[in-house]
Each structure stands twice: as structure tokens, then as C-alpha cells.
């Protein structure tokens, strides 16, 4: 064909224009993905050059046959036309694969992971698949990360049972040594240390999960807690008994569609901590629920932002639209004097100041601190709280609770007490508290 190369160049330019969102990023600063441009131009050019060969193969075929092949090949570019630029997946709660910046032996696999995480229509495809799974399942519906029951609406994690693992003797020794070292640091700076490990939803609601029933002896966290207490004469607060008592009063301890405790459970954590803390901080008083406005909603509030309600973490994981799972009403408590609290919010770090409070409290841990904080601020003059969920975020560190980084921050804040709050599946964070000097790297 006389103009085949010119046609190939023109087609390549057209395809490059159609896929601009995939290779040009102007959100914060201009970024051009040259490797992707090269791939698009090369594939487009080669496709047109070989088009006459394809047409020759169909000379004896009908025009619809030829058009069908052309449409199929052209449609292969559609998933590339608007690749996702998100850093994380909201419903999967994980970091999405990045485009490989270097050519390595794993380039093919890296490209495959990048494409599978970001192609156009991925969310729709997953949603359609998951709705089909629900349709074809009985009462119990299983997904890779969670499972739920149509009859009662309870969603449970598949791998959050009893903690992530049994703790070895070395793990227990490391936890004990790390806590003892942190406790010595606190004593040297006239600070009281408290560590609270919160029982998981799967532990408290064993009776609601038919496939995950087990005895207390199977709880992998309890041996670690008891070991630390025996080794260091330092008790880790583990309010399983208090949670079960709340449950026995027909109160929701956990949200059905989320991994976090409700406000009722957060108040139990609050009372449990205050009861232990005021043995040393003698002027601490227990704030009554009468100091809070009470309301009810069917949505979940588990983040630091008191105005944010959503469907819940586990609901996002199943990635379906089923409002039957969202019919449960939960009780919420909002501090009547919240307007008197000054809040300095910096992402995963907040400082709260209550001029009517006493003492300064430093909180470090995972997301299980969020609902608890709004009860604690009714008592404390100032709370400096940090989330350690990702060491990739500020402050930069080698582990979630890297005390080589957080100890200087604690010293500068000069708190009266330090409170570490962890969901029991994150108790292994205590193994990695000093990664540069004997801890697990």
C-alpha cells in the first residue's frame, strides 16, 4: 500500500492523543511518562503496518469479518485510555502498583501488576464480579479478604483471626525488652507509660461467625500479653472482659460493616484507661455520658473527623451495593464542649488542646485511637496523637512504632503520660520498636 507508513504514523498520533490521560499528569507538576508513550506509538504503528496482512487473510471473508477483527484489536487500547492515578485503593486499602521506572528482569511482571491495578473499568468489573458471587452464594458469602452473612449483615475478616500469627519466644522476648526500654525512657523523663491492646471484632463476636468459632485458648494474643506482664511486671491493658460485658447489655461493640469499635465501645476503653491512669494521675476525673449529645445513625464513624460517616471498611472490601447490610443503627456521642477544644490537624497527626483539662497525653498507635481520643480530650489539657499505620508517611521511619524517631518527639512534647493503642492484630508492631538497635528490621 502506497500510503501505509503515513497512515501508520497518523494512527499512532491519534492513539497518542486518545491516551493523553494515561501518559500526561498535570495534577501537581507536569509529568510525562515517556516509556508509555513509546509503547503506545510502537504498538499503534506496528498494528497499521500489519493491517494489510490482516486484510489479505480476509480477502475471501466478508466485510463484517474484517471489521470485527479491526474492532477487537482497536478495543485493546480502551483500558489504556484513562489509567487510574490513585496512590491507594479506597475499597482495598492498599497501595496500588506503580509504573516501573527501570528495566529489570521483572519488567513484564511489574507492567502486568501496574496495568491490572489501574486499567479503565477495573472497579466496574470487580463490582460486577462480586455482585455475581453474592447472587450465587447462600447465606455465607466469601471474598478474598472478608466474608459476610446475608441473614444478619455481619462482615468479618478472613485473616484477622486471633492475631496474625503465634508469637515465638524471640518475639515475646523482643516485645518485653522493647516495652521495658520504652518504660525506662518514660521513667527518666517523668512520664507514665500505658499500652492498650484492643480485642478484635472476630474475638468478641465469635457467636456471629459460624465458620470461625474457637475457644479462648486459641487466642494468639493472650499468651503474649501474659508473658509481657510476667517478664516486666508491666501490665498490657486488654479489655476483652469489658467488651464482653458491653455486648451482654445488647450494645454494639463493633460496627457490622467495619473493623473499628463503636462509640459505646470507645467509652468502655476510655473508662478502662482512666481507671488505670488515675492511680498515677490522681486529678483525672471520669467524664459522664451526660456531657455528650447522643444520636443514632446507620452509617459508620470511625475516623478522626467527627463529621465523616461512611459505609465501613469491610463494606468497601466487598465492593457491592447492598443496602440490606446497612440497616443497623449505632449510637454516637458528641462532646457538648467540643467547640472549646482547639484542634490542629495535620493528616495522621493531630494536637488537641482543652484549657479546662489537666495533664498532657501522647497517643501513638493505629486507627483504634480515633474514637477514644474524643472521650479523652474531655479530661486532658493537651493530647498529641500520631498514627503509625504506614512507615512510608511522615515521620519517615523504619517501622510503625520506631522509637528512634518517636522518642525525641515525645521528649519535646513533655507529656505526663504516653498511651500506645493497638488493635490486637497489630500487636506485632511492638516487636519492631527499635529497628536500628536489636529490633526486627
In order, the DSSP letters of 314-330 are HHHHHT---GGGG---E
**Cα separation, 251 vs 328, whole angstroms:** 12
Please check whether residue 155 is in contact with residue 256, taking contact to mean a CB–CB distance below 8 angstroms.
yes
Residues 6+ apart with CB under 8 A from 284: 274, 277, 278, 358, 359, 379
Which three three-digit cell numbers place residue 3?
500510503
Please check whether residue 330 is in contact with residue 309, taking contact to mean a CB–CB distance below 8 angstroms.
no
Eight-state DSSP code of residue 261: B
Percent of the chain with pLDDT over 70: 80
The domain segmentation of the chain, as residue ranges, is 4-83, 165-307+328-432
User: Which run of H or E residues covers position 172?
Assistant: helix 169-188
103 pLDDT above the threshold of 50: yes
Place of cell 473499628: 260
Place of cell 527518666: 188
Three-state secondary structure call for residue 301 = coil
Q: What is the mean pLDDT of residues 394-413?
A: 93
pLDDT at 373: 96
**Geometric angle at alpha carbon 52, from 49 and 54, rounded to 5°:** 105
Please check whether residue 21 is in contact with residue 62, taking contact to mean a CB–CB distance below 8 angstroms.
no
pLDDT at 117: 65
**Cα separation, 329 vs 351, whole angstroms:** 31
**Geometric angle at alpha carbon 211, from 429 and 312, rounded to 5°:** 55
Residues 6+ apart with CB under 8 A from 43: none
3-state percent helix, strand, coil for the chain, nearest multiple of 5: 45, 15, 40
Q: Which candidate, 306, 285, 262, places its Cα nearest to that of 378? A: 285
Q: What is the mean pLDDT of residues 44-57?
A: 76
Three-state secondary structure call for residue 411 = helix
pLDDT at 165: 57
Strands (E) across 260-416 are located at 292-297, 330-335, 342-346, 349-353, 360-365, 382-387
**Cα separation, 364 vs 25, whole angstroms:** 36
397 vs 72, 174, 183, CA distance in Å? Answer: 49, 19, 20
pLDDT in tens, 224-234: 777 777 666 67
pLDDT in tens, 333-374: 999 998 899 999 988 899 999 999 999 999 999 999 999 999
Confidence of residue 58 (pLDDT cuts 50, 70, 90): low
326 vs 121, 150, 251, 265, CA distance in Å? Answer: 26, 11, 17, 19
Q: Would you say how long the chain is, in residues?
A: 441
Q: What is the mean pLDDT of residues 401-409?
A: 96
Q: What is the mean pLDDT of residues 401-421?
A: 97
Among 156-165, 255-264, 285-294, 318-327, the range scoring the smallest mean pLDDT is 156-165
Please check whether residue 327 is in contact with residue 153, taking contact to mean a CB–CB distance below 8 angstroms.
yes
What residues does 293 pair with on adjacent strands?
334
pLDDT at 169: 83
Strands (E) across 150-253 are located at 155-157, 192-198
440 pLDDT above the threshold of 60: no
Please check whether residue 99 is in contact with residue 84, taking contact to mean a CB–CB distance below 8 angstroms.
no
Provide the whole-model pTM: 0.76
pLDDT in tens, 273-323: 999 999 999 999 999 999 999 999 999 999 998 899 999 999 988 888 888
Is pLDDT larger for residue 227 or for residue 55?
A: 227
Three-state secondary structure call for residue 102 = coil
Amino acid at each position: 500500500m502506497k500510503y501505509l507508513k503515513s497512515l501508520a504514523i497518523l494512527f499512532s498520533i491519534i492513539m497518542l492523543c486518545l491516551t493523553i490521560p494515561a501518559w500526561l499528569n498535570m495534577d501537581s507538576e507536569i509529568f510525562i511518562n515517556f516509556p508509555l508513550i513509546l509503547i503506545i506509538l510502537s504498538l499503534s504503528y506496528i498494528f497499521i503496518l500489519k493491517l494489510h496482512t490482516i486484510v489479505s487473510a480476509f480477502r475471501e471473508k466478508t466485510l463484517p469479518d474484517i471489521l470485527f477483527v479491526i474492532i477487537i484489536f482497536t478495543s485493546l487500547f480502551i483500558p489504556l485510555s484513562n489509567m487510574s492515578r490513585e496512590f491507594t485503593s479506597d475499597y482495598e486499602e492498599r497501595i496500588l502498583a506503580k509504573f516501573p521506572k527501570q528495566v529489570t528482569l521483572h519488567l513484564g511482571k511489574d507492567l502486568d501488576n501496574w496495568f491490572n491495578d489501574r486499567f479503565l473499568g477495573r472497579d466496574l468489573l470487580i463490582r460486577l464480579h462480586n455482585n455475581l458471587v453474592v447472587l450465587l452464594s447462600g447465606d455465607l458469602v466469601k471474598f478474598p479478604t472478608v466474608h459476610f452473612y446475608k441473614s444478619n449483615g455481619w462482615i468479618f475478616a478472613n485473616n484477622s483471626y486471633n492475631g496474625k500469627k503465634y508469637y515465638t519466644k524471640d518475639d515475646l522476648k523482643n516485645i518485653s525488652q522493647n516495652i521495658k526500654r520504652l518504660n525506662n525512657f518514660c521513667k527518666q523523663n517523668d512520664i507514665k507509660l500505658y499500652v492498650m491492646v484492643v480485642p478484635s471484632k472476630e474475638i468478641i463476636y465469635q457467636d456471629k461467625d459460624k465458620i470461625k468459632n474457637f475457644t479462648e485458648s486459641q487466642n494468639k494474643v493472650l499468651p503474649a500479653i501474659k508473658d509481657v506482664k510476667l517478664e516486666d511486671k508491666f501490665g498490657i491493658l486488654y479489655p476483652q472482659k469489658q467488651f464482653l460485658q458491653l455486648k451482654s447489655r445488647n450494645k454494639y461493640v463493633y460496627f457490622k460493616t467495619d473493623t473499628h469499635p463503636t462509640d459505646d465501645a470507645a467509652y468502655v476503653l476510655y473508662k478502662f484507661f482512666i481507671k488505670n491512669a488515675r492511680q498515677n494521675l490522681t486529678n483525672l476525673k471520669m467524664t459522664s455520658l451526660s456531657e455528650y449529645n447522643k444520636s443514632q445513625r446507620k452509617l459508620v464513624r470511625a475516623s478522626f473527623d467527627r463529621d465523616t460517616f461512611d459505609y465501613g471498611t469491610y463494606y468497601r472490601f466487598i465492593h457491592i451495593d447492598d443496602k440490606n447490610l446497612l440497616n443497623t443503627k449505632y449510637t454516637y456521642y458528641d462532646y457538648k464542649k467540643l467547640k472549646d477544644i482547639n484542634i490542629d490537624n495535620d493528616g495522621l497527626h493531630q494536637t488537641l488542646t482543652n484549657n479546662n483539662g489537666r495533664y498532657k497525653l501522647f497517643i501513638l498507635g493505629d486507627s483504634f485511637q480515633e474514637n477514644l481520643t474524643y472521650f479523652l480530650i474531655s479530661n486532658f489539657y493537651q493530647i498529641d496523637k500520631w498514627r503509625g499505620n504506614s512507615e512510608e508517611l511522615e515521620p519517615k521511619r523504619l517501622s510503625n512504632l520506631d522509637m528512634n524517631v518517636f522518642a525525641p518527639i515525645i521528649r519535646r512534647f513533655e507529656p505526663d503520660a504516653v498511651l500506645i493503642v493497638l488493635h490486637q492484630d497489630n500487636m506485632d508492631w511492638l516487636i519492631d520498636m527499635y529497628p536500628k538497635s536489636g529490633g526486627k528490621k
